[in-house]
Amino acid sequence: MRTDPIDTRQGHATEAILFGLVPMGDPRTAAEALHELQLLAETADFVPAGCMVQHRRHADPHSYFGSGKLEELAEVVKLAHSSAIICDDSLTPNQAKAIEAAVGVPCLDRSELILQIFAMHARTPQAKLQVELAALQYEMPRLRRRWTHLERQRGGIGVRGGAGEKQIDVDRNLLKTRISTINRDLEKIEEHKVREVQARPDLFTIALVGYTNAGKSSLMNKLTDAGVLAENRLFSTLDTRTRPWRLSGGRTVLLTDTVGFLRKLPHQLVASFHATLEEALHADLLLVLVDGSSAEAVEQMQTVDEVLETLGSQNLPRITVLNKLDLVTDRANLTPLWQIDPRAVPVSVLTGDGLPDLFAAIQNHLAAVEQRVELLLPHSAGALHGEIRAKATVLSEFYTEEGCLMTIQVSPALLGRLMAGGARVTEKNRPPSDSAADS
Ligand SMILES: Nc1nc2c(ncn2[C@@H]2O[C@H](COP(=O)(O)OP(=O)(O)OP(=O)(O)O)[C@@H](O)[C@H]2O)c(=O)[nH]1
Ligand SMILES: [Mg+2]
């Protein structure tokens, strides 16, 4: 990237001034408008030392801020003795250069900040490769401008075949080779993951999705003994994790924790994290977690919808969960969220408040999408008994001379396998949603 990168992982925190654009007439203060950038900066171990916004519709194509505002920014940086500035948007390399020239300290943009956080949090080989891929892809289009700039400094502007031109080719080839190696390695990991998902027993799968910091990992930890890292930082989770969750009554479903969504995520990251989120695509039900106490909850719900749409998951059944109820002082604040989804369930993962309602909503969903059947399990097929108890909801059972007579609620796929294994359906009730559709 640029010649003077900011590395915050050296042990001491860097003080930074945050800056960005807000629409004309936006009444928010600079600190309010840049609140999320502030959280991101803190997550990347910066100390935000001040905020500055300019009210304008579009960024200046050459320098992002107008020249007068840039001078103001330079003044603030000097006064605050800050050693970096962070922009709320992604900058073109030329914009970043113009800003650095005017302000005199290194400038980081939103994409670089997010890439840095992802690099800090990546743990598994897959997450590490995905982050490296995104960083290389971010760098690729910036090579030419970087070298053109150097050429210009040497007075060689526009000379094709100059030292810079050759170096661009060398750099580009190196990057291309590394990118294709990473892509190959990722493909292998993804193939393995797909096989893992396909080999999964017929368990109902629930994916936890939502804006970063909404409480997905906290809920996962509460319901299973996953021990997933949950903390008040953005992007704590970068890897998809799936764990069995035993519902009351003994039935097991699978619960998948996923990477958090964010507005203005660098598209290189969205692309390379597609594989991570892909596991969510195979879910039978989405639990969409929202931080109900956030002033930006409505926008966050919209962002989550947009990301789900780009993943093609917008039509998966979902239950919206409004979390952090303990921080909501007035439930009337939740009204705009209920207007988006009137069936949204308010909970506090922290205190446990509302969780029984969430469990009931999940059981109701299962009852609506599965079949209720009466099944005779002959003694010869008795081995299936344990599997039924683990994977289906057993509503009643008693033993007869012929075998075990059970009323169960079961997915069509599992029912098919049980019948192939010797179970006999004695009575079948269609789920309520199906009968409504038939009439
Ligand atoms: N007050 C309160 N805090 C909560 C609640 N649930 C989660 N938190 C806190 O919110 C922060 C974020 O929780 P996580 O579970 O890491 O959130 P996440 O959605 O997994 O975040 P990412 O992995 O970054 O996408 C942590 O500090 C949690 O302790 C809640 O019900 N009430
Ligand atoms: Mg998490």
Residues 6+ apart with CB under 8 A from 395: 372, 407, 408, 409
Residue 186's nearest CA partner among 120, 260, 124 is 124
* Strand ranges, E, within 90-186: 107-108
Distance, in Å, from the CA atom of 365 to the CA atom of 149, rounded to the nearest integer, reads 59
- Indicate the residue among 66, 86, 117 that finishes a domain: 117
Q: Which amino acid, one-letter code, is at 407?
A: T
411 and 283 share one domain = no
pLDDT at 128: 85
Residue 379's nearest CA partner among 427, 423, 420, 428 is 423
- Is residue 292 within 6 Å of ligand 1 at its C-beta? no
CA of 288 to the centre of ligand 1 (A): 14
Let me know: does 18 contact 32? Beta carbons within 8 Å. no
> How confident is residue 436, by pLDDT bands cut at 50, 70 and 90?
very low
- Indicate the residue among 323, 338, 366 that finishes a domain: 366
CA of 258 to the centre of ligand 1 (A): 13
Once rounded to an integer, what is the mean pLDDT over residues 132-149?
A: 67
pLDDT at 12: 58
Domain count, the chain: 4
- Among residues of the chain, what percentage have pLDDT more than 70? 83
Residue 286's nearest CA partner among 307, 309, 255, 310 is 255
309 and 391 share one domain = no
DSSP state of 105: S
- Among residues of the chain, what percentage have pLDDT more than 90? 48
Asked whether the predicted pLDDT for residue 71 surpasses 80, the reply is: yes
247 and 332 share one domain = yes
Q: Which ligand is nearest to the CA of 121?
A: 1
Between strands 285-291 and 205-210, the pairing is parallel
Residues 275-295 as b/e (b if ≥16 CB within 10 A, e otherwise) read bbbbbbebbbbbbbbbbbbbe
41 and 154 share one domain = no
212 and 334 share one domain = yes
Does 1 map to a domain?
Answer: no
Residue 296 sits in a domain of what CATH number?
3.40.50.300
* Shortest-distance atom of ligand 1 to CA 323: 31
Once rounded to an integer, what is the mean pLDDT over residues 55-63?
A: 94
Does 3 map to a domain?
Answer: no
Does 2 map to a domain?
Answer: no
Burial of 42 (0-12, 13-18, 19+ CB in 10 A): middle
Greater confidence, 5 or 41? 41
CA of 367 to the centre of ligand 1 (A): 30
Does 236 map to a domain?
Answer: yes
Asked whether the predicted pLDDT for residue 43 surpasses 80, the reply is: yes
Look up residue 47 and give its two tokens.
């100390």
* Strand ranges, E, within 121-279: 205-210, 241-246, 252-257
226 and 352 share one domain = yes
Once rounded to an integer, what is the mean pLDDT over residues 405-418?
A: 91
Asked whether the predicted pLDDT for residue 212 surpasses 60, the reply is: yes
Asked whether the predicted pLDDT for residue 438 surpasses 60, the reply is: no
Q: How confident is the model over 381-397, as pLDDT tens digits?
A: 888 998 898 889 999 99
31 and 77 share one domain = yes
Q: How confident is the model over 109-133, as pLDDT tens digits?
A: 998 888 888 888 777 788 888 888 8
Q: Whose CA is nearest to atom 11 of ligand 1?
A: 232
Which residues are bridge partners to 108 per DSSP?
Answer: 86
Q: Hunting for tokens 């920014």 — which residue is that?
A: 73
Does 276 map to a domain?
Answer: yes
Does 47 map to a domain?
Answer: yes
Q: Hunting for tokens 């969220």 — which residue is that?
A: 337
169 and 67 share one domain = no
235 and 353 share one domain = yes
Once rounded to an integer, what is the mean pLDDT over residues 90-97?
A: 89
CA of 39 to the centre of ligand 2 (A): 15
Taking ligand 2, which is a single-atom ion, which protein residues have CB atoms under 5 Å away?
A: 216-217, 236-237
Which residues are bridge partners to 375 per DSSP?
Answer: 406, 425
pLDDT at 119: 83
Distance, in Å, from the CA atom of 305 to the CA atom of 313, rounded to the nearest integer, reads 9
First-to-last C-alpha distance (Å) of the chain: 63
Let me know: does 319 contact 359? Beta carbons within 8 Å. no
pLDDT at 170: 73
278 and 303 share one domain = yes
- Indicate the residue among 333, 348, 366 that finishes a domain: 366
> How confident is residue 193, by pLDDT bands cut at 50, 70 and 90?
confident
pLDDT at 413: 84
DSSP state of 211: B
Does 249 map to a domain?
Answer: yes
> Residues for the chain: how many in total?
439
Residue 18 sits in a domain of what CATH number?
3.40.50.11060
Look up residue 329 and give its two tokens.
């002082």
- Is residue 236 within 6 Å of ligand 1 at its C-beta? yes
Full residue range of the structural domain in which residue 411 is found: 370-438
287 and 153 share one domain = no
Once rounded to an integer, what is the mean pLDDT over residues 240-260?
A: 85
Asked whether the predicted pLDDT for residue 194 surpasses 80, the reply is: no
Collapsed DSSP state (helix, strand, coil) of residue 108: strand
> How confident is residue 227, by pLDDT bands cut at 50, 70 and 90?
low
Once rounded to an integer, what is the mean pLDDT over residues 402-410?
A: 93
Q: Whose CA is nearest to atom 13 of ligand 1?
A: 215
Once rounded to an integer, what is the mean pLDDT over residues 128-150?
A: 69
322 and 240 share one domain = yes
Q: What is the mean pLDDT of the chain?
A: 83
